[in-house]
Amino acid sequence: EAREPMVDVFDEGDHLLVVAELPGVDANDICFEVKEDVLNLSATHGDRKYRKEVLRPSAVSAQAATSSYRNGVFEIKLPKAK
């Protein structure tokens, strides 16, 4: 059974910042996919499983996305589509 992580979405002008709490997983255990107006997040490490669908408030350029993971916090910067 997958847990739903705490997720915040911030509109920072030229990009969206998505912050998710994913404790107990490694950076390479995390997957994200942008489909239409939804961001799908998932992570699995041993018996820890996380899954969340996040509705995006604006169109983004998924190919230019950058991400980081530190101390259980996963951040994705999604540049807005022009």
Evaluate if pTM is beyond 0.85.
yes
Give the pLDDT of residue 7. 97
Spatial separation of the C-alpha atoms in residues 40 and 22, rounded to whole Å: 14
Q: Across 1-82, where does the E strand assignment appear?
A: 7-11, 15-21, 30-35, 38-45, 48-55, 66-70, 73-79
- pLDDT tens column, 3-17: 999 999 999 999 999
- pLDDT tens column, 18-61: 999 999 999 999 999 998 889 999 999 999 999 999 998 889 99
